[in-house]
Amino acid sequence: MDHTRLFRLDGRSAAVVGAGGGIGRAAAHALAAHGATVTCLDVDGDAAAATARGAGSPARGRALDVRDPEAVGAVAEQLAAESGVDILVFTPAVNVRKRILDYTTEEFHRVVDLNLRASFDLIRAFGADMVRRGHGSIIGFSSIRAYTVEPGQSVYAATKAGLVQLVRTAAAEFGPSGVRVNAIAPGVVETPLTSPIKNDPAWYDAYAAKSALGRWATPEETAGAVVYLASDAASFVTGTVLPVDGGWTAVDGRYEPPGTT
């Protein structure tokens, strides 16, 4: 084994869903930098195209609304017919921050539809060809909210916990065919999804203080985990959830009792 090439992705095709910005854009650029040919997919086709232009290697962008199962299936079939997809990364999610008693049925369905059902559709649509070809890596984005919650995070947290179990089950079912399925669980990352709290100084500071590193992450700081799970460096890693949370779930906050310093 050539250990200098453990993280190289030359000759592999990647599809990044949610590549129009934030974590998805960072993932697309990182995969391309390591040699993958990347298809950037996003509900905003122009944003996907902009990500592709900035990838610095062969890449293309196109629109995909993952809330449309038929569209997901059609794109997966087209890419499978062209060159196949060796790596699938998906990031789309939405959060309605309300307490349970204030939630509407429409809001519940909106969060579940994008965060969980669309993830199921993506895993099925792209996983089918990977299983047929006998290799592939699927990487979904869960969250620390799959494990630790706060008031107002009920449905979002439930979908992210559901995604963890979906990934684990897919890993068990696809593993005999050589397909790996894993999840990444970020902490607080500066993205459009978190902008409502990022723009509140008190909230921003409180979240920063929760991690061992005492700050928020940038989208680029999640990209290394994507490259790792996509590459041969993780050839025996499947069914796992990799926290990229600055130590949030390890330290349970930043309070230091007297006499511990």
User: What does the alpha-carbon distance between residue 116 and residue 72 come to, in Å, rounded to a whole number?
Assistant: 14
Going by their DSSP bridges, the two strands 136-141 and 13-17 should be labelled as unpaired
Which tokens hold the place of 112?
């579940």
**Residue 228 CB contacts under 8 Å (≥ 6 apart), including other chains:** 7, 234, 242
Q: Which of 103, 156, 207, 228 is catalytic?
A: 156
**For the purposes of burial, counting CB atoms within 10 Å of the CB of 1, is it exposed (0-12), middle (13-18) or buried (19 or more)?**
exposed
Report the DSSP beta bridge partners of residue 37. Answer: 13
Q: Do 109 and 160 contact (CB within 8 A), yes or no? A: no
156 among known catalytic residues: yes
- Which sequence positions are flagged as catalytic? 156
